[in-house]
Structure 1
Amino acid sequence: MSEFSPTPERSGLEPELGGVFRDAPERSGFEPELGGILRQKGVYVDEITCIGCKHCAHVARNTFYMEADYGRSRVFRQDGDPEDVIQEAIDTCPVDCIHWVDYT
């Protein structure tokens, strides 16, 4: 931390969603956990509503996986697939449990 700076400088070794930067108001939505400059929104699966049909995991394989213990879909990588592929998974979900959410 610089003696002139009120906030610590990033070293690049901090956890992507942790530490002093978790609640920083200057977060923009372009952070690495959302794919950098790719998008300002994230994908969210409402696991309570999910029926485990596996369709999203087949359509967008690099974004969704089936959680083994409960057999429900879960997002494991926000930038895993192109936005149009993720949108196809959202549009074809039979119970409408996958949503785009604003980063904030």
Structure 2
Amino acid sequence: MAKTVRIDEDECIGCEACVEGCPSVFAFNDDEGKAYVIEGAEAGDDCVDEAIANCPAACITWE
């Protein structure tokens, strides 16, 4: 089973670090002020692992 990336949007502080570092997987919802995972995005491990490491809210995980 393939891993999928998830953002706990309740914990997201809207810093956009994940969007800046991995724009092919993450996007920003201006109305909500939160990042989200782009539906159907190809999650490259290096890009996502970097986003996980750089997230100040620690709200990005693999499932």
| Percent of residue pairs bearing the same amino acid type | 35
Unmatched tracts of structure 2, length 5 or more = none
Unmatched tracts of structure 1, length 5 or more = 1-28, 30-39
2:15 alignment counterpart: 53
- Of structures 1 and 2, the one scoring higher in RCO (CA 8 A, sep 6+) is 2
Aligned length: 62
Across the aligned residues of Structure 1 and Structure 2, the Cα RMSD in angstroms comes to: 1.1
1:96 and 1:73 mapped to 2: Cα distance? 13
1:35 alignment counterpart: none
Query: What TM-score does the superposition give when structure 2 sets the normalisation length?
Result: 0.90
Q: Which has the larger radius of gyration?
A: 1
Alignment counterpart, residue 74 of structure 1, candidates 8, 31, 36: 36
More helix by share: 2
Runs of 4+ in 1 over 6 A off after TM superposition: none
